[in-house]
Structure formats: structure tokens, C-alpha cells
């Protein structure tokens, strides 16, 4: 073989192997035709995906139908996505169902990263304080999903239109506000504040009526079920662990560091949003793997809260692990991200924390709690209910009696 030909072969081998190296994909479980890995999600995807990750690793590539989907199950990989490559992974997948439900992606929760998202997020964050005072195309049309979705969207419209109608005429226009300054102070709800911006009362900021509805829907969907799910899990764990309940009831109500530890530990064991979703805006080299644009990313906060590199005895409910620890859910500790992290971290984090603290402090200090018919707390069923938020499968039925100190 001539030296030139040998060189040419060697060069082609070298360049093709280096291409292979940067283009390789993360480990994947085998797929089925058309549905890919959909059949492996099961009823409780956070648990099924956690089990799969034990075999395929903390960064897996699945195919949900035809959609390439990364699944993140460890704190170290989460840090790569939410910190190192946060900008590249700050999109949300534009799923058909989300488009229908969230007014064609006119809200903060589902909008792709960009100027419109930045604008709506700043409006949303600015007005959040008000709350303190007050592969579907292959199957969906056949199984009735599309019809159910359309029906849900119709009901959503009826509810949202009724809310907007109720508030619209009460909120003054910019001109009316100028002539009567007292009308401005009559606004007090999130919807009123959004409508006030819509009517031109906030110079430099403008939103249309569709965005008012979409942002209000964000509060309903992102704020209410998450917080109530968290409250039920906290009360469940307290009743299941009477010593923890007693320690909390004995705590000085002015400071309550143990309450914070109880809330943290419950979020670790039962993050209400067990899996949250991102999407790649561009091609990314992630830990040696080439990730394609539009790849969906599922961050399994539930599995990350059990990452054995960061948590001792992760299956044990132990609020004490958070005492004298700086680990918190504010988005800097990637082993504990029940509210996400990075650019798209939950903007309701402060409101959620304050309302949960306040509610639990009142419930445990004012009442003693027991299960009906003398059942033991230790025996309480902690099965989970499938859904976007993972709640308790069976309702928590408890009997309060006025605490002796309050009687």
C-alpha cells in the first residue's frame, strides 16, 4: 500500500472514530416499534424510571414514541443540566396537549425560553406577592384522549371566561385611574393585577387577554395542587411518625427550625412534582454525549432525592438529617431540587414555603391528631396516586382534637 493511501485510510479511521466518540448517545433500554419505551413508564414513572436507571445509569436516552427523551436520575447529572448547560436546556417541549390547554403556550409554565417567556415571567413574579393575601397523533384520536382533551379545554374556557368577566369591569383603565386615584388601591387579587396591566396601568409593560387567562391558569395548575399535595404528605408523615409530631409540637413557635427540617424531608421523600420537564434548545455536548436539539429532558427529582452518593439511608424518613445542614431547595443543592433550579426554577417557591409553613404550624400547634377507630399511625398506607403531581393514593382521614394548651 502506498504511503499516501495508508495515510488516507488512517486519517479516515481517526476522523470517523472521533466523530463516533462525540456523537455517541447515552445508554438506552431496547425499544419497541412505534411506541419506543412508552410501555416502560408504567403507572408511576418516577419509580419505573428509577428502576431503569439502576441498569442504564443516571443519564439515559429513551424514546417516548418518536420523541428522544433524556432521563436524569442523579444529582451530578442534574447539576450539568440545571447549572452547567442551564441555558441550553431552558426550553419546554411544545407538546400538542399542552398547546391546547395553555392557550397556545401563552403562559410561563409552558412557553419556550425567549423574550416572551422573560416578559411573562417578570409580570408573574412581580405579582406573585398578591397571592399572599388571597406521540399522541399514533393512538390519541382512537382512544378518546383527543375528545377528552377538547372537552377539558371547553370547560377551561367556561371557567376562565367567567373569572375574567367577573373582574374585568371592576378594574379601571389607565385613564380612569388617573382621574380617580382611589380605584387603584381597590385592586387586590392576582387576576385584578393582571387585568390592570392589560388595561394599560403599568407603563412599559403590556399583556393581552389571552396571556391574562394563561397566567391565571398557571396559578391554578402550578400553585394549588402542588401545595395541597405537599400539605397532605407532611401531615401523613407526621401521623406515621408520632415522635416527629411530638417534637414539632414541643418546638418554640417563634423559630421552628424543626418544622423547616420536616418540610424539607417530606419534599425529599415526596416531591409533589416528582419529574419535571425541560427541552434542549440546541445541540449540546453533555458529559461526552451529543444531545440533539428538541430532545426532551425528564428530571427525576424523586430519584435524585434517593441518590446514595448524597443521602444516607435514603428510604428512611429522618427530618434530623436537615438540622445543622445548609442543604436547601432554593436551587443551589442539586441533590435536592423539588422546585427545580436555574433559569426556570419555580417562581412560586417563596409563596409555597410561607403558606406551607404557616398552615402546618397552625395545624400541629392548635390540634392533636389521630387516625379514626384507634388505628396506629405507623400502619398508614402511603401508596401513591399517579398524576402530574404525585399525591397520596387514599385520602388522609384524621381526627383533630383541640390541643390542651389551646383548649
Annotated binding site for heme: 346
Give 99's contacts (C-beta < 8 A, 6+ positions apart): 105, 110
Pick the stretch among 17-25, 161-169, 221-229, 397-405 that binds ligand HEM (CB under 6 A).
221-229
Bridge partners for 107 per DSSP? none
Considering the complex, what minimum distance in angstroms separates the CB of residue 1 from ligand HEM? 56
Considering the complex, what minimum distance in angstroms separates the CB of residue 27 from ligand HEM? 24
- Kindly state whether residue 227 participates in binding ligand HEM, applying the rule CB under 6 A: yes
- Kindly state whether residue 273 participates in binding ligand HEM, applying the rule CB under 6 A: yes
> What are the helix (H) ranges across 219-316?
225-240, 242-249, 257-269, 301-304
Given the complex with ligand HEM, which of 68 and 340 has the nearer CB atom? Answer: 340
- Kindly state whether residue 341 participates in binding ligand HEM, applying the rule CB under 6 A: yes
Annotate each residue in 122-141 with x if it binds ligand HEM (CB under 6 A) or - if it does not, as one string: --x---x--x----------
CA-angle at 36, arms to 35 and 39, nearest 5°: 70
Tell me the chain's radius of gyration from C-alpha atoms. Answer: 25
Strands 289-291 and 67-72: unpaired
Among 276, 302, 311, 322, binds ligand HEM (CB under 6 A): 276
Considering the complex, what minimum distance in angstroms separates the CB of residue 185 from ligand HEM? 23
- Kindly state whether residue 108 participates in binding ligand HEM, applying the rule CB under 6 A: yes
CA distance 217 to 384: 25
Among 36, 338, 364, 369, binds ligand HEM (CB under 6 A): 338
- Kindly state whether residue 259 participates in binding ligand HEM, applying the rule CB under 6 A: no
- Kindly state whether residue 347 participates in binding ligand HEM, applying the rule CB under 6 A: yes
Among 91, 127, 218, 307, binds ligand HEM (CB under 6 A): 218
Contact of 133 with 115, CB cutoff 8 Å: no
Considering the complex, what minimum distance in angstroms separates the CB of residue 218 from ligand HEM? 5
Q: Give the phi and the psi of residue 381 in degrees, each rounded to 5.
A: -85, 120
Size of the site for ligand HEM (CB under 6 A): 29
CA distance 120 to 126: 10
Between residue 350 and residue 369, which ones bind ligand HEM under the rule CB under 6 A?
351-352
CA distance 40 to 230: 27
Between residue 28 and residue 57, which ones bind ligand HEM under the rule CB under 6 A?
none
CB-count burial class (<10 Å; 0-12, 13-18, 19+) for 2? exposed
Query: What DSSP character marks residue 126?
Result: H
> Which helix (H) or strand (E) segment is 150 a member of?
helix 145-168
Considering the complex, what minimum distance in angstroms separates the CB of residue 192 from ligand HEM? 15
Pick the stretch among 65-73, 148-156, 273-281, 380-388 that binds ligand HEM (CB under 6 A).
273-281
> Which helix (H) or strand (E) segment is 279 a member of?
strand 275-279
CA distance 261 to 301: 18
List contacts with ligand HEM (CB under 6 A): 108-109, 121, 124, 128, 131, 218-219, 222-223, 226-227, 230, 272-273, 276, 278, 338-342, 344-348, 351-352
Amino acid at each position: 500500500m502506498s504511503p499516501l493511501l495508508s495515510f488516507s485510510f488512517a486519517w479516515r479511521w481517526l476522523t470517523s472514530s472521533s466523530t463516533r466518540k462525540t456523537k455517541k448517545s447515552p445508554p438506552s433500554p431496547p425499544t419497541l416499534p412505534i411506541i419506543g419505551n412508552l410501555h416502560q413508564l408504567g403507572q408511576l414513572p418516577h419509580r419505573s424510571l428509577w428502576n431503569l436507571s439502576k441498569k442504564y445509569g443516571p443519564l439515559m436516552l429513551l424514546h417516548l414514541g418518536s420523541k428522544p427523551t433524556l432521563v436524569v436520575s442523579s444529582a451530578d447529572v442534574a447539576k450539568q443540566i440545571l447549572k452547567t448547560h442551564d441555558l441550553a436546556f431552558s426550553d419546554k417541549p411544545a407538546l400538542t396537549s399542552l398547546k391546547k390547554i395553555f392557550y397556545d403556550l401563552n403562559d410561563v409554565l409552558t412557553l419556550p425560553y425567549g423574550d416572551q417567556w422573560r416578559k411573562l415571567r417578570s409580570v408573574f413574579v412581580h405579582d406573585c406577592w398578591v397571592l399572599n393575601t388571597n406521540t399522541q397523533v399514533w393512538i390519541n384520536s382512537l382512544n378518546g384522549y383527543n375528545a377528552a382533551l377538547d372537552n377539558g379545554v371547553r370547560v377551561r374556557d367556561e371557567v376562565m371566561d367567567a373569572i375574567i368577566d367577573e373582574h374585568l369591569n371592576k378594574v379601571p383603565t389607565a385613564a380612569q385611574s388617573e382621574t380617580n386615584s382611589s380605584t387603584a388601591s381597590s385592586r387586590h387579587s392576582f387576576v385584578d393585577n393582571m387585568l390592570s396591566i392589560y388595561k394599560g396601568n403599568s407603563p412599559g409593560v403590556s399583556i393581552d387577554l389571552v396571556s391574562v387567562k394563561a397566567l391565571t391558569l398557571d396559578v391554578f395548575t402550578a400553585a394549588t395542587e402542588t401545595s395541597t399535595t405537599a400539605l397532605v404528605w407532611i401531615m401523613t408523615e407526621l401521623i406515621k411518625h408520632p415522635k416527629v409530631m411530638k417534637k414539632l409540637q414541643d418546638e418554640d413557635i417563634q423559630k421552628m427550625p424543626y418544622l423547616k427540617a420536616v418540610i424539607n424531608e417530606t419534599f425529599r421523600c415526596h416531591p409533589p412534582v416528582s419529574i419535571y420537564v425541560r427541552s434542549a434548545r440546541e445541540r449540546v455536548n453533555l458529559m461526552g454525549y451529543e444531545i440533539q436539539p428538541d430532545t426532551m429532558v425528564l428530571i427525576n427529582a424523586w430519584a435524585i432525592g434517593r441518590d446514595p452518593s448524597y443521602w444516607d439511608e435514603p428510604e428512611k424518613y429522618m427530618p434530623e438529617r436537615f438540622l445543622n445542614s445548609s442543604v436547601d431547595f432554593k436551587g443551589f443543592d442539586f441533590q435536592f431540587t423539588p422546585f427545580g433550579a436555574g433559569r426556570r426554577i419555580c417562581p412560586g417557591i417563596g409563596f409555597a414555603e410561607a403558606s406551607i409553613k404557616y398552615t402546618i404550624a397552625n395545624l400541629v400547634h392548635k390540634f392533636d391528631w389521630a387516625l379514626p377507630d384507634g388505628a396506629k399511625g405507623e400502619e398508614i398506607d402511603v401508596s401513591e396516586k399517579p398524576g402530574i403531581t404525585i399525591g397520596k393514593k387514599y385520602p388522609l382521614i384524621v381526627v383533630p382534637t383541640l390541643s390542651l394548651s389551646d383548649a
